Every structure is written in C-alpha cells, then in structure tokens.
A = this chain, B = another copy of it.
Amino acid sequence: MNRQATRDEVDNVIRHVTERGFQPIELPGTDRLAIGVLGTNPSQIRDAVVVLPGVMDAVPVSKPYKQVGREWHPEPTVVEVGGVSIGGNAAFAVAAGPCAIESRDQLLTAARGVKAAGASLLRGGAYKPRTSPYSFRGLGAAGLGLLAEARDETGLPVVTEVLTPADVEQVAAVADMLQVGTRNAQNFALLEAVGTAGRPVLLKRGLSNTIEEWLLSAEYIVSHGNSDVVLCERGIRTFETATRNTLDLSAVPLIHSLSHLPIIVDPSHATGHRHLVPSMALAAVAAGADGLLVEVHPDPDQALSDGPQSLNLAEFSALMQEVRRLGAAMNRPVEPAYDGAMRSRMGAG
C-alpha cells in the first residue's frame, strides 16, 4: 500500500482479495502496510489489485506452486514404486520396456530382457494416445493383464499410461505407477483423478510446458492428496526437426533446485532416433537425474509404435553397462547390481 493509504483503502483491497477466494494477511511495517496473500495465482491477483486506490505495487514474493516447491519442503521426496525407490539418495532407477504392448510374447520377452540387463521397472503401454485416429491404440484391458503377468514372472513393478479419468480405477488396479503423458500434462481432470488414485504418478512434461507450468501440473496431483509424483523430462517442441523433440536436460538441475520431487529422463521420445538414445541417457546420469525411462523392444523394426526410437535388448544391455559405470563415477549406484548368473538364467527363459 502507499504510505498514505487510508484504512478504507486497505479494507477495500482486503475485500477484493477475499472475494477472489484468497486469504489476505496484514503485515504492518514501520512506514507502510503490506498485505500478504496466500494460496494465490500471482498474476491474477496482481492484475486485480494493482489498479485499486492506495495500492503502490503488487509483488509476487513466492512461486505459484507451494506443495511441490523446495522452499517449504527442502528434503528431497523419495517415491516408492512397488518396492523400488526413486529420488533423493536412492539408487538410479531405470524403467524400460516397449512403447506399446503388442502381444504376450513381445511383452514377456522384453520384460525378461530388461530385467536381465538391470532395469528396475517395466514400462509398457496398454492404452496409447495417438495423433491419428487411425493408428494402433493399444490392447487396452488385455494389455493390463499381460503387464500383471510380466510383473508376476519378473518381479519388476510396472508403469503404464492412463489416458482419461474414467480409466484411472481400472489401470490403478494393475499398475504400480500411473503415467500421465505429454499430451495430457495439462488435462486437469486427469491430474485430479490420479491425485486420488492411491498410486505413484509419473508426470511427463507437456510438449510446450514451461518448468513452472509443469510444476503446477504436479501441484494439481499433490494438492489432491497424492504426494508420490515423479517428473519425467521427455523433450520439448522447438524449431529443430533433426530430432523428434529437443531434450531439455537443464530441466534436471532446475527441477532439483525448485522442487523436492524426483525427476527422470526419457531419451527415447526426446530424440526419436535409436542411435542418439545412449548418449542422451548417459548425459541424463551426469546431469543428476534420478532415473531413466527407455523404450526397449525385442524387435524394434517390427514395432507397431515408435520402432525407430526403440533399442533392442542387446543395445539396452550395453547401455546399462555404461550407465552403471557412469553412475559409479557420479557416486550414484544403479540397482540392482549386475548379476551375470541371473542374466544368463533369464536369457535362457
């Protein structure tokens, strides 16, 4: 407020703030009165009050997100997914598997392979969002059944995408972790639904989401009661067409400085090209990511979806060895430790 602001002017501001559903707090100072506003979208309230009589200025003093911010929650959150920890000082976590579940054989082969190579979670899409209505949309409920079977056999917790609020209950009945995809990153009804689903959530960054918008989407989930959110950087849309998207690895240290939530990296969707995936996976380790999400297919050239960006099992196994070596150099172990015996057993399965 201005130094000369009258009591009426102060009350007028307080009334405006309250009417908009925010909580005003008077903060008297030696020479002027400040009015703090809690729970706000700063730009909205600023627009509204800055024009009122007696107001000197309206300054956003805190981030628009609260519960996901580091400011009020400095300790890193560790999210538990079916026994696997992600974030903080937990081991580096790798989720791998096919973009789309195509068949029992395809999924089980992939699951055994990625486990043998050292993945800690299995990814696989039962419901697929597709830009064209004529593309393969996934096996749906049948795919969920195959995921459960793959988990039973390998012990790997499973992460799979949910596309719409109506499917959340069904998917949550099987999945250890619910994935919200890039095109749904601001589907607020879906964010609210997974916020009450009782399962950890993997929240991909929207194709053109700023860091702030992304954290606000996470805030939707957390503010509905679900604090088990893992963020996933998967590339943003830019002018460059040589890659499918532009992987914004600086999001890793940025998110770590702004938020207590874990962040993992998806080099497959980010680059769109198999031969770029290993370099970007290693760069993610070095940047301090808490894990990876990698597309792996037993036979990428036959994949119904995203074949050109999928690694085969041998390529993934080679990548995991490099990830482990780099993780060791970064003092970030990758669990489970490589187990040659287990691997040959799996390879024979």
Please give the residue numbers on chain A whose beta carbons come within 8 Å of chain B beta carbons, in ascending order.
3, 20-22, 30-31, 39-41, 44, 47-48, 51, 64-65, 129-136, 163-166, 183-184, 186-190, 207-208, 210-213, 216, 219-220, 223-224, 236-243, 246-250, 252-254, 257, 270-271, 275-276, 279-280, 282-288, 301-305, 307-308, 325-326, 328-330
Q: How far is the CB of A286 from chain B (nearest CB, A)?
A: 4
Sample 16 A-B pairs with CB under 8 A, ordered by A number: A3-B30, A31-B31, A47-B308, A48-B302, A64-B132, A134-B223, A164-B165, A165-B166, A166-B166, A183-B188, A210-B242, A243-B248, A243-B254, A249-B249, A250-B270, A328-B329
Minimum Cβ distance to chain B for residue A265 (Å): 10
Q: Are B188 and A130 in contact (CB under 8 A)?
A: yes
- Bound-state Cα–Cα, A37 to B59, Å: 22
Partner of A284, one of B223, B224, B283, B308: B283
Question: Shortest Cβ distance from A289 into chain B, in angstroms?
Answer: 9
**Which of B44, B135, B213, B250 sits near A276, CB closer than 8 Å?**
B250
The answer to whether B241 touches A210 (Cβ under 8 A) is yes
Taken together as a complex, chains A and B put the C-alpha atoms of A200 and B330 apart, in Å, by 34
List 4 other contacts, CB 8 Å, given A44-B135, A252-B279.
Answer: A163-B189, A247-B250, A286-B286, A328-B329
| A242, B211: Cβ atoms closer than 8 Å | yes
Once bound together, how far apart are the Cα atoms of A30 and B257, in whole Å? 40
Q: CA–CA, A224 to B131, complex, Å?
A: 15
Residues of B contacting A183 with CB < 8 Å?
Answer: 186-188
**Residues on the B chain within 8 Å of A20, using CB:** 136, 304
The residue from B132, B184, B207, B285 contacting A286, defined by CB atoms under 8 A apart: B285
Give Cα A96–Cα B315 distance, bound, in whole angstroms: 36
